[in-house]
Every structure is written in C-alpha cells, then in structure tokens.
Structure 1
Amino acid sequence: MTATGRETDHKKDLHVYLQDARDVFLWKLEGLPEYDIRRPLTATGTNLLGLVKHVTGAEAFYFGEIFGRPVDAPALWIAGDAEPNADLWATADETREETIAHYRRVWAHSDATIDELDLDATGLLPGAERKELSLHRVLVHMVAETQRHAGHADVVRELIDGATGQRESGHHMAPGDSAWWQGHRARVEKVAREASGR
C-alpha cells in the first residue's frame, strides 16, 4: 500500500471514530423533555445539551481556528473566550433545535477541513505558545475529547431514564431486563462492601 493509501486509511479510521461519538450525542437527546436535556446531574453541572454545546465549540476551535478556517460556534471558556463553563450549559434562549443545528453545521465544517487537508498539514494553536499542531494530532485529540464527553452523556442519560448503550437499541450492553440489572448491581455492591471491609 502506498503512503498516500495508508494516510487515507488512517484519516478514514479516525474520522469514523469521531463520527461515531458525534452520533451518540444526538441519540442521547432523543425523546427527552426540555428539562431533562438541560438539568445538571452532577455536582459540576454536567448536562446533555451543555455537552453538545461544548463539543461544538471544541470542533470549531480545533478544526476551524487552528487551521485558519474560522466558523461561528460557542466560545470555549478554557481558551479564555468566555466566562467559566459558559460552553457547558445552554441558556434559556438557546434552543435544542438551534444547538443541534449548530453542531451539525460545525461538524460539516470540520469534515471539510478533514477532507481537504493531509494528515501532516499543520495549523497554529492560538495564544502565547503559537504551537504547531498537525491535522493528525488534532483528529486524535478530537476523537479522544468527543468520546470522553460521549461517555459523560451515557452516564447522564442513564441517570435520567435508564437508557443505556452506544445506540438507542442498547448496542454494546449486556442483554438483560430490569430485574437482571438490579441483580447485577446488587452483586457489584455486595463485592464492593466485602472488598472495603478487608
């Protein structure tokens, strides 16, 4: 296989994993009322719509700004562009439909960057460092970032209504009804108590 063929395969593999995580966010919002997609379910305020808003801003920053291809998106507080955690929750004026539409628009922009640039193409990280980042490194970072937050969405959705899995069908989950899961949880709890008593 040629070097170009290998690069295409690597880029395609990374893109598949990124898209897989993107799709998780959309199904985690499905069928939930407005309150449930916004309510904070951790002590730090983690919520489903806020996670979507955050990954939208992250994609715009990494695939847009770094490569000189800006796109309008929520500012990332960690980049110093917004108040702390502003990108991790949606205001009452930011609707579900708008937030999802922004995400889809930004990921289309990201996909164009991925398609048009080689993996060794570089962009500049804004700020004092002005560090060069390759598209390969940005893709790896964004796969990790998006999958990490998709995991947060998994837990938050389970806390809301018990829905689990990478797909709405429960894909990648052990088969079992609610009685089986209650028994499984009780077993894990029992072992945790036994281990802590050693």
Structure 2
Amino acid sequence: MIDEFAKQYLHGDLREVREEMVGKLDGLGEYDIRRPLTATGTNLLGLVKHLTLTEARYFGEIFGRPYPEPLLRWDDLSVRGTDMWATEHETREDIVAAYRRAWEHADATITELAVDAPGHVPWWPRPDVKLFNILVHVLTETNRHAGHADILREQLDGAVATDGHRDAEFWAVRRAAVERAAKAVADPQ
C-alpha cells in the first residue's frame, strides 16, 4: 500500500527541484534566459513557463480542482508548444510568480488529498490515475527539465550544479580526460 511517507517524500523532492529550476535564472540577463539554445528552441525561461502549466494542469483539473487562472487547452493543437518560450511581453518576474502560484495550488492539492485519491488524465492512454501517479509524473517531468536547465546554464556561463567541492580547475581536468578518451576511440593508433 502506498502510504503518507511516500507522498511526503515525493512532495519534498518536488519542492527542492522547483527551487533549482527558478535558481537557474539567477544572475543571467533577459536575453540569455530567453534565447534558444538548442535547435528546437529550448531556453531557460521557457522551461519554467512550461512547468507552470504542467503543475497547474496535473494538480488541478486532473483532480477536479481547476486552476483559478486561464490555461492553454491541452487539446488545442494551435497553441501546443507555446508554453515552452516567453514572448517579449512576458516578464521574468511574471513567469516566476506564475510558477510559484502554480506551486501553491499544487501544494494544496497534494496536502489535502490522500495519496491514493483518484484522478483522470484524458490525454493518457490509461487515464484513471491516483495522486501518487501524478506526483511521480510531475517530479519526473520537473527533474527532466532541471537536467535540461543544468546543461543550458552550463553552456551560457559555465555554472554547474555541484556539491560545492569542485572548482573550475577540477572541471577543466575532467573535461580534458573525457576529450582524451573520446579521441582515443575515434582515432585508435
């Protein structure tokens, strides 16, 4: 049986990774948090905006607790993907504030419902779920995007998620070792 401990554990991890996501914006200018850093346009502020919709939707309508602000419709193909980037009219402050409001709504759902509370995700092949399923799904989604954000941030200014015991020299030595190994395989002599 899934118990309260599992719910609290997953919720705690979600709270931590949310803060990490917002922290990836710290110290960067407006252009750098918005600019496309991959061929598909992935960018830091867009990841935060996307996770806002993710939390608002999954911890809202799935459990009959609609989010109090307008959301893009999940079944409207004309808006699909627009949650992955910020327009010039959307500010960093507005997007981060919206993400924090989505947290509050999600946290209320998580706190008030039992871990085995039923929900319904109409776009999933097996739409009948429990709060546990959604906690795992949103935590997985948030961690996936936190990994993207780690790489994007490292590309922008070299900032890395670290345990605080490794400096630039450590990473330079590590990178050189990885490069040597790759070259040895690419050009064996």
TM-score, normalization by structure 1: 0.87
Query: Which residue of 56, 79, 100 corresponds with 1:104?
Result: 100
Query: Paired residue for 2:187?
Result: 197
Is 1:148 aligned to 2:144, yes or no? yes
Dislocated runs of 4+, deviation >4 Å: 127-130
Shift of 1:184: 1.6
- Report % sequence identity: 49
Q: Following the alignment from structure 2 to structure 1, what is the Cα–Cα distance between the partners of residues 16 and 124?
A: 34
Shift of 1:126: 2.6
Query: Match of 2:79, SS?
Result: coil
Query: Paired residue for 2:12?
Result: 16
Query: Which residue of 85, 91, 107 corresponds with 2:87?
Result: 91
Taking only aligned residues, the RMSD between alpha carbons, in angstroms, comes to: 2.0
Unaligned runs of 5+ in 1: none
Query: Contact conserved, 2:116 with 2:130, CA < 8 A, in 1?
Result: yes
Query: Match of 2:159, SS?
Result: coil
Is 1:139 aligned to 2:135, yes or no? yes
Q: Number of aligned residue pairs: give it.
A: 186
Shift in alpha-carbon separation, 1:179–1:127, aligned structure 2, 3 A: closer
Query: Contact conserved, 1:121 with 1:135, CA < 8 A, in 2?
Result: yes
Unaligned runs of 5+ in 2: none
Query: Match of 1:123, SS?
Result: strand
The code of the aligned residue for 1:37 comes to I
Shift in alpha-carbon separation, 1:16–1:111, aligned structure 2, 3 A: same
Shift of 1:173: 5.8
The code of the aligned residue for 1:191 comes to A
Query: Contact conserved, 1:74 with 1:87, CA < 8 A, in 2?
Result: no
The code of the aligned residue for 2:99 comes to Y
Q: Which moved more, 1:52-61 or 1:83-92?
A: 83-92
Query: Match of 2:60, SS?
Result: helix
The code of the aligned residue for 1:138 comes to I
Q: Following the alignment from structure 1 to structure 2, what is the Cα–Cα distance between the partners of residues 31 and 103?
A: 19
Match runs of 1:28-47 below 5 Å: 28-47=24-43
Query: Contact conserved, 1:53 with 1:74, CA < 8 A, in 2?
Result: no
Query: Contact conserved, 2:118 with 2:130, CA < 8 A, in 1?
Result: yes
Match runs of 1:118-137 below 5 Å: 118-127=114-123, 131-137=127-133
Query: Which residue of 70, 75, 86 corresponds with 2:72?
Result: 75
Query: Match of 2:33, SS?
Result: helix
Query: Match of 1:29, SS?
Result: coil
Shift in alpha-carbon separation, 1:37–1:73, aligned structure 2, 3 A: farther
Q: Larger relative CO (CA 8 A, sep 6+): 1 or 2?
A: 2
Query: Paired residue for 1:179?
Result: 169
Query: Match of 1:175, SS?
Result: coil
Q: Following the alignment from structure 2 to structure 1, what is the Cα–Cα distance between the partners of residues 140 and 165?
A: 24
Q: Following the alignment from structure 1 to structure 2, what is the Cα–Cα distance between the partners of residues 180 and 58?
A: 36
Is 1:57 aligned to 2:45, yes or no? no
